[in-house]
Structure 1
Amino acid sequence: MGPIGIFDSGYGGLTVFKEISHTLPQYDYIYFGDNARVPYGTRSYDTVYHYTMECVNHLFDLGCHLVILACNTASAKALRTIQQKDLPKRTDLRNVLGVIRPTTEIIDRFTISNHVGILATSGTVNSASYVLEIHKFFPQIKVYQEACPMWVPLVENNEMDSPGARYFVKQHIDRLLQQSTEIDAVILACTHYPLLLPTIKEFMPKGVQVISQGSIVAKSLADYLYRHKEIEALCTKNGARQFFTTENVENFKEKASIFYGLPVEAAQFDLTHKIP
């Protein structure tokens, strides 16, 4: 038995972890942030896969039977390979889940016009993962994407309320909505973006729903554990929280508290020497 693992390339996954730990507080969790190698969004599929799998294996080594990729780039570029190539080779019971499917499989609840917008990193947009997943469930929905390369640096440098943030948020919302006047639902397809939510809502027209992933992923995880008793039985329940980072611990603690909403204690784990 062991905790549930939560992985992200940086800090954004803490917004998802915050919702998960609120919805399912009884479980033990380990959060792993590969902050030393962020950003993942600009890296190749192969690199993202290797980095992600390395961190997932570390979480497995720490006793996690279930790992959530609380990172859109890792979910887009690595999850399918991990599920199809790596997990079947294991003789023990392990699983890895992502954040894209929980959102896309219920997107029809948020749109009347069947025109949906995606705000994401360049890596997630280029992967077309949201387009493919939405069309898999709802072929009638038209999907429009806009990459927002400046949003993550603004959040990670605590510039969410700056004039620069307002400029780039408005710029990318305008570019997205120019693609279709019928968009009535927009997915924030990056876990950093909820910290920009007040500014996003300021520039988003009334009648357009803005969808954050955290609560959706948390509810999906609760449903998964209910349906998969064999995995749920392996998840320990002491309400414990642990945080690991590949970066400087003090830097991580300072920034992580902004995303998680509470002070955190963390330990460093060095992975950078293992992959060129």
Structure 2
Amino acid sequence: MTTGTPIGVFDSGIGGLTVFRSIIAQLPAYDYIYLGDNGRAPYGNRSFKTIHQYTWECVQWMFKQGCPVVILACNTASAKALRTIQQQDLPKAYADKRVLGVIRPTAEVIGNYTNTNEIGVLGTKGTIQSGSYLLEIEHFAPQLKVHQQAAPLWVPLIENGEYDKPGADYYVQLYLDQLMAQSPNIDTILLACTHYPLLAEKIKAHLPAGVNVVAQGDIVATSLVDYLGRHPEIEQRITQTGSRKFYTTIDDTADFDHHASQFFNDAVKSEFVDVREGCE
């Protein structure tokens, strides 16, 4: 279906395109494929077992397209599936492949954004309940006090194109109020879902002055640049013709293309795939 050995970028839907956009900005020469599992989105309220199954099926499909490395540009998949994939799945059948997530790179640098050492984390129910950010931030920045808040209705609003409508303001305010009520000292809010940057302007408008809002795109892209520099055995396998291909598991590709173009800030033309064919 594709040629060469591209970098794979995966998300449960279209939010990962905000990360993909940043990756291309920093690494424009490489070949890429993007896969959105829109046919089974959203992942946020699903179980660990189901999210692992779906994510692993998608990762295997991307491996079969030639990807030596896949980026899980999805916080829920990174929180609930990445560890199992890295520690159990890859050693069994794909020891020469790599799967990277978005949580660790973010946890490594989030402490650089705060002056009060108190941050808020907004994410899906699955990401928040996993406790992944609490664990990773504790490891890299134990001085930080982390306050978490699930925002379960934000992804459906965004996926359905309602993120810039007046009705979205109520739900933006709802979850921000719940988060900020946890501490008056929060001065940095991490958008721990790759969908949320599309709500960034509304989020900023409902926050007190001086509160930083941090998206993950540039952080993940910078981390990937560093990773490839440290792993030439992976980097040298990636072809560099500037190719970018988009795939989705929803058969209405026109709908995917319409919404994806708004995330990607450029026209998107996708193909439908059934990732379950041939999966173990």
Bin for the TM-score computed over the shorter chain: over 0.9
Alignment of 1:96-245 (within 5 A): 96-245=99-248
Match of 1:37 in 2: 40
CA distance in 1, matches of 2:92, 2:277: 25
Query: What SS does the corresponding residue of 2:53 show, helix, strand or coil?
Result: helix
What is the count of residue pairs matched by the alignment?
275
CA distance in 1, matches of 2:240, 2:95: 20
Query: What SS does the corresponding residue of 1:163 show, helix, strand or coil?
Result: coil
CA distance in 2, matches of 1:38, 1:155: 12
Equivalent in 260, 263, 270 of residue 264 of structure 2: 260
Equivalent in 233, 250, 257 of residue 254 of structure 2: 250
Query: What SS does the corresponding residue of 1:2 show, helix, strand or coil?
Result: coil
* Kept after mapping to 1: 8 A contact 2:36/2:247: yes
Q: Structure 1, unaligned stretches of length 5 or more?
A: none
The one-letter amino acid paired with 2:253 is: V
Spell out, residue by residue over 1:182-218, the C-alpha distance to the aligned partner (whole angstroms, 9 max, x if none).
1111100011100011101101111211000001101
Query: What SS does the corresponding residue of 2:96 show, helix, strand or coil?
Result: coil
CA RMSD in angstroms, aligned pairs only: 1.4
CA distance in 1, matches of 2:64, 2:12: 18
- Shifted more, 90-99 versus 251-260: the winner is 90-99
Q: Structure 2, unaligned stretches of length 5 or more?
A: none
* Kept after mapping to 1: 8 A contact 2:78/2:101: yes
The one-letter amino acid paired with 2:44 is: G
Spell out, residue by residue over 1:231-256, the C-alpha distance to the aligned partner (whole angstroms, 9 max, x if none).
00011100000011100211111111
Query: What SS does the corresponding residue of 2:241 show, helix, strand or coil?
Result: coil
CA distance in 1, matches of 2:143, 2:56: 34
Counting aligned pairs with the same residue, the percent is 56
Q: How far 1:270 moved relative to its partner? A: 1.6
- Shifted more, 84-93 versus 100-109: the winner is 84-93
The one-letter amino acid paired with 2:172 is: V
Spell out, residue by residue over 1:106-146, the C-alpha distance to the aligned partner (whole angstroms, 9 max, x if none).
11101121111001111111111111110011222111011
Q: How far 1:161 moved relative to its partner? A: 2.4
TM-score of the aligned structures, taking structure 1 as reference length: 0.97
CA distance in 2, matches of 1:38, 1:274: 21
CA distance in 2, matches of 1:272, 1:58: 8
CA distance in 2, matches of 1:125, 1:212: 16
